[in-house]
Amino acid sequence: MAIIVDDDTKLIIQGITGYQGTYHSKAMMEFGTKVVAGVRPGKGGEAINGIPVFDTVAEAAERTGANTSCVLVPAPSCKDAALEAIGSGVSTVVIVTEHLPVNDAIHIVSVARAKGITVIGPNCPGVASPGKAKVGILPNKIFRKGDVGIVSRSGTLTYEIVSAISESKHGQSTCVGIGGDRVSGMSFIDVLRLFQEDGQTKKTVLVGEIGGTAEEEAAEFIKKNVTKPVVAYIAGRTAPPGKRMGHAGAIIARGRGTAESKIRALEAAGVKVAKLPAEVPELLTEL
């Protein structure tokens, strides 16, 4: 089973001719992903790592039957690239690009939701289902097939925790990096819902950070809808208080957003919360 990416994933890489696109297209294929096309306007007809390059996403999707796109283009072209993918027949778009203006993210996500397209990111490491496929930049070697579903707002911290899980006797069904920006496509809740329905996933790990209220909202959802056990880690227990967003930030947060608030909410929903990343596999074993 697994979620979002699997054996049926046929992938387009937007920005395949760049340094990161070239490197990571190869890494994705080594992971087992069916990378069927690349897109780079003006470079149609070329090939990178044996993958045919097209000028447009529409042409790439039509010629190859691709259903998923990975956006690896610089921030100033990202809105264009992501909207092109959303309008070109693929059903899932993974946006790795970081430093995307928040107004662009709002635009992309609202259009995608209206059209029923799944967007993951921006500023995310991607999605990996070991033994099946990976879309994004997560390191290949840290994964091991298993029954733990992971959802995380972080990038490198996700690798840290996946790696710790693999080094213990556990493995992953799917790992989803939803991205660390204020506005992202899939939320914790969207992913938790898919894990709850996924046959391969028996337990879930949620990796959060201080700031925003996404973890508190996830806790509410878990309490009502998730029957599979959940382990969490929240980074930033000892981080200095962030810069204030005027009064508006404080009014929205109303005391939420801190590590204590998130941990309290998760524990109240029956989630086991690790104090350090290394404790996550121990808590999984205890389940």
User: What does the alpha-carbon distance between residue 94 and residue 114 come to, in Å, rounded to a whole number?
Assistant: 17
Is 235 among the residues that bind other proteins (CB under 8 A)? yes
Is 125 among the residues that bind other proteins (CB under 8 A)? yes
Count Cβ neighbours within 10 Å for each residue of 47-85 and write b for 16 or more, e otherwise: ebbebbbbeebbebbeebebbbbbbbbeeeebbebbbbb
Site string for other proteins, 241-270 (x = CB under 8 A): ---xxxxxxxxx-x----------------
Is 159 among the residues that bind other proteins (CB under 8 A)? yes
Contact, 243 vs 211, CB < 8 A? no
CB of 119 to other proteins, least distance (A): 10
Is 47 among the residues that bind other proteins (CB under 8 A)? no
- Per-residue tokens: 127: 């999605």
Q: By CB under 8 A, name the one of 28, 37, 137, 191 that touches other proteins.
A: 137
List the interface residues with other proteins, window 163-182 (CB under 8 A): 163-164, 180, 182
Residue 153 or residue 170: which is nearer to other proteins going by CB? 153
Tell me whether residue 146 is exposed, middle or buried, using C-beta atoms within 10 angstroms of its C-beta: 0 to 12, 13 to 18, 19 or more: buried
3-state secondary structure of 28: helix
3-state secondary structure of 218: helix
How many residues interact with other proteins (rule CB under 8 A)?
65
218 CB-near residues (< 8 Å, 6+ apart): 187, 188, 189, 192, 206, 208, 266
- Per-residue tokens: 90: 């693929």
165 CB-near residues (< 8 Å, 6+ apart): 144, 146, 148, 150, 171, 172, 205, 280, 281, 284
Taking the alpha carbons of 268, 274, 277, 283 in that order, is the dihedral positive or negative?
negative
Is 215 among the residues that bind other proteins (CB under 8 A)? no
Is 139 among the residues that bind other proteins (CB under 8 A)? yes
Q: By CB under 8 A, name the one of 63, 275, 285, 287 that touches other proteins.
A: 275
Contact, 143 vs 216, CB < 8 A? no
Is 118 among the residues that bind other proteins (CB under 8 A)? no
Q: Which stretch binds other proteins (CB under 8 A): 31-39, 196-204, 206-214, 223-231?
A: 206-214
Is 102 among the residues that bind other proteins (CB under 8 A)? yes
Is 75 among the residues that bind other proteins (CB under 8 A)? yes
Q: Which stretch binds other proteins (CB under 8 A): 1-9, 49-57, 197-205, 240-248?
A: 240-248
Asked if 107 is an active-site residue, the reply is no
Which of 143, 95, 151, 142 minimizes the C-alpha distance to 118? 95
Residue 5 or residue 142: which is nearer to other proteins going by CB? 142
Hey, which residues are catalytic here? 247
Residues within the interface to other proteins (CB under 8 A): 19-20, 75-76, 98-103, 105-107, 109-111, 114, 125, 137-139, 142, 152-160, 163-164, 180, 182-184, 207, 209-210, 212-214, 217, 233, 235-240, 244-252, 254, 275-278
